[in-house]
Chain A
Amino acid sequence: MLKTFKLGGVHPPENKLSADAQIRELPLPAVVSIPMGQHIGAPATPLVKKGDKVKTGQLIGRASGFVSAHIHSSVSGTVTRVDQVPDASGYPRTGVVIKVEGDEWAEEIDRSPELVRACSLAGHEIVEKIQAAGIVGMGGATFPTHIKLVPPKGMKAGLLIINGVECEPWLTADNRLMVEKSREILVGTELLMKALGVEKACIGIEANKPEAILKMKEATVGFSGITVEVLKVKYPQGGEKQLIKAVTGREVPPGALPVAVGCVVSNVGTAFAVYEAVQKNKPLLERVVTVTGRDLKQPSNLKVRIGTSLMEVITYAGGLPEGTGKVISGGPMMGKAVASLEVPVTKGTSGVLLMPGEQSGRQPQLPCIRCSRCASACPMGLEPFLLMTLTQKSLWERVEKEKVLDCIECGSCSYSCPASRPLLDHIRYGKARVGQIVRSRKN
């Protein structure tokens, strides 16, 4: 019996078309647009100006504030402007636009492919290197990793969980990374364990990735304290709280951090980036992105430099299919439909999903038939039908009482509603309003 979380969950069709596509490197684009805000927290402050020459891996944005991260150039070339760069919502954001010239890397970066396991750094020094490399959560949440590795006073982590679940349909980037770079991920895990000061780590992988499970299990030989846990295929198994529940049986209390139950969760991509940062002095400047879709010629997993436009990535995978209706950054359950193809790949872009026009529209909405499938599907035990109605009536006190702030916005409710009701649309808005009210109450 495979472990999993108890409450809720749905099983959308997996569509892992690109599961066997080896990671290919996307050729350098002509221009990259690197946004200063690719993480949770304050955007970085640009350190370069128009006309400056930069090298690959050079620091171009300094973290501003406690919750922030550094930004590094992913290419070498000349800065053409420090200006507005489009984001997925359609808002222009500050970014550095670089005309690519050659591929000259910063001297300290070790580009050799040999595995380096030995590390003489102390835990806090590893955290500093992670911070200097601008590493953020690469599962999509983009929380600055160096902050996660230092639990608040009074809390101590006992277990590191590496998230290799990739529960979103269509996405296979983490899968391929585990198949092709398993040893590097293990070293990265070891480094994270040292940084956190824990002796045990567990790598959670969903059962639909047999090759990755095999490779990762092989790689754990020789590493002490690291196990691989095969988990049942159920969405959202990759959600932090659901993953902790499946692996340890503990439930993170509402409003609390995972470290409150002794766990810290990190994505496999983050572990890999940590390896490169600590052992190879390479800052976070590229990542694996799955490009996929029903009509796409070549569903692929591409290694892409940060700042490359989505259009470039799609073209390399066979070009934008005729009749594409939606382009989604991320997976189909929680990903964001982008407003334009000029939007760049950022640290949190795990995939690009091209949705055909006829699948891009929603079904007309019917009245709620009180079937409670949404409540059965909710992994946090909430009642989405009720949250939607209360939000529509702006009854914020009751919305807060019904625990809307616990919602992880996984989309299972909207997915399972037979009446096609836009549950998550309203709940997300309710969460935002209640969040504002709670914050203003604290002040």
Chain B
Amino acid sequence: MNASLIYTIVTLAGIGTASGVILYFVARKFRVIEDPRIDTVEKALPGANCGGCGYAGCRAFAEACVKENDLAHLFCPVGGNEGMAGVASILGLEAVRKDPRVAVVRCNGTCEHRPRVNRYDGVMTCAIIHNLYSGETGCQYGCLGCGDCCVVCDFDAIHMNPVTGLPEVTDEKCTACGACVIACPKNLIELRKKNAKDRKIYVACRNEERGGPARKACQVACIGCSKCFDVCAYDAITMGTNLAFIDSDKCKLCRKCVEVCPTNAIIEVGFPPRKAKPAVTETTTVNQ
């Protein structure tokens, strides 16, 4: 056989073997010992790496679960109660049960209800507009309409409606991770309790100005008249500065507040249409 061929084979084989041996010892020396349960927990998690749990990705959450050895303050909104039950069974701990939540955009200032008073010309992101101006309309609290919330959603669950100019949440896809809540510079989006049949009742307004200016800027603004507060039998409504707030955990969906709201600021979603109220006619009053 050709001598150079033998030299080549021997040299390459030698280098390969030596490298293999060195790598073996290096791998042993620098091996990171990890609790094997972290891997198992991580596999049980949804793998969305959305940060909704407050940790930097699913692996970090898994590490936290194993390290803390107590699931009282740990919750993955994407996996929900089922997911946490799975994690709990792996670790032999008790999982905290939380009511599932969904993102709700608390503004109904559509192009129709809330006319523009200025025309904005610049970079179209909510963050940049908010840095300089109150918006294009008379309501400084209302949605800016550029969709920063949509861009940041990992689950394709929120999209801008081009007709209304407001974002809309697709309930089935929303995992309540909270990214859109953080992205909205006007703090319009809230994670509210998810009800059966995706029913919702909420005050679609965050305007804290007095009734006059609020209504002037937007037809469906909350004027803080307190009629809803008076009629709520479950203490679910609190009055802030010229603004009502419905606590989704206390609300029993009785819809009385929706009936009495004079500006239609309170929105009900997922209910059958109401029977129209009987009109008050001349004859009725005269006959009394």
Contact = CB atoms under 8 A, between A and B. Distances in A.
Interface of A: 84, 89-92, 336, 339-340, 360-362, 422, 425-426, 428-429, 432
Given A339-B133, A425-B122, 7 more contacts: A84-B209, A84-B213, A91-B134, A92-B209, A428-B132, A429-B128, A432-B131
B128 A89 contact: no
Contact residues of B: prevailing secondary structure: loop
Nearest to A88: B133
B111 interface: no
A209 B118 CA distance: 36
Given A84-B213, A425-B123, A90 B133 contact: yes
A83 to B, nearest CB: 10
Contact of A89 (B117, B127, B133): B133
Contacts of A91: 134, 140
A66 to B, nearest CB: 26
Interface in B104-136: 117-118, 121-123, 127-128, 131-135
B144 to A, nearest CB: 11
Contacts of A90: 118, 133-135, 140
B140 A92 contact: yes
Contacts of B123: 422, 425-426
6 contacts: A90-B135, A91-B140, A92-B209, A361-B121, A429-B128, A432-B131
Contacts, number: 40
A361 B119 CA distance: 10
A362 B128 contact: no
Nearest to B210: A84
A340 B122 contact: no
Central interface residue in B123, B127, B134, by most chain A CB within 10 Å: B123
Given A92-B209, A422-B123, A425-B128, A339 B118 contact: yes
Contact of A429 (B117, B131, B134, B140): B131
A429 B134 CA distance: 15
A84 B128 CA distance: 25
Contacts of B135: 90
A426 B213 contact: no
A422 B122 contact: yes
The 10 closest A-B pairs by CB, nearest first: A90-B134, A425-B123, A91-B134, A422-B123, A429-B128, A89-B133, A429-B131, A339-B118, A90-B133, A91-B140
Interface in B177-230: 209, 213
A172 B118 CA distance: 28
A425 B128 CA distance: 7
Nearest to A91: B134
A82 to B, nearest CB: 14
A344 to B, nearest CB: 17
B132 A89 contact: yes
Nearest to A360: B121
Contacts of B131: 428-429, 432
Contacts of A432: 131
A426 B132 CA distance: 12
A336 B118 CA distance: 14
A361 B135 CA distance: 17
Contacts of A340: 117-118
Central interface residue in A90, A362, A425, A426, by most chain B CB within 10 Å: A90
B286 to A, nearest CB: 46
A360 B123 CA distance: 15
A339 B123 CA distance: 17
A91 B135 CA distance: 9
Central interface residue in A91, A360, A425, A426, by most chain B CB within 10 Å: A425
Nearest to B118: A339
B122 A339 contact: no
Contacts of A428: 128, 131-132
B212 to A, nearest CB: 11
Nearest to A325: B119
Contacts of B121: 360-362
Contacts of B213: 84, 92
B134 A339 contact: yes
B274 to A, nearest CB: 36
Central interface residue in A84, A339, A422, A426, by most chain B CB within 10 Å: A339
A368 to B, nearest CB: 15
Contacts of B127: 429
A419 to B, nearest CB: 14
A340 B118 CA distance: 8
Contacts of A84: 209, 213
A384 to B, nearest CB: 14
A397 B257 CA distance: 48
A90 B117 CA distance: 10
B140 A362 contact: no
A193 B117 CA distance: 47
Contacts of B128: 425-426, 428-429
B134 A362 contact: no
Nearest to B139: A90
Contacts of A336: 132
Nearest to A428: B131
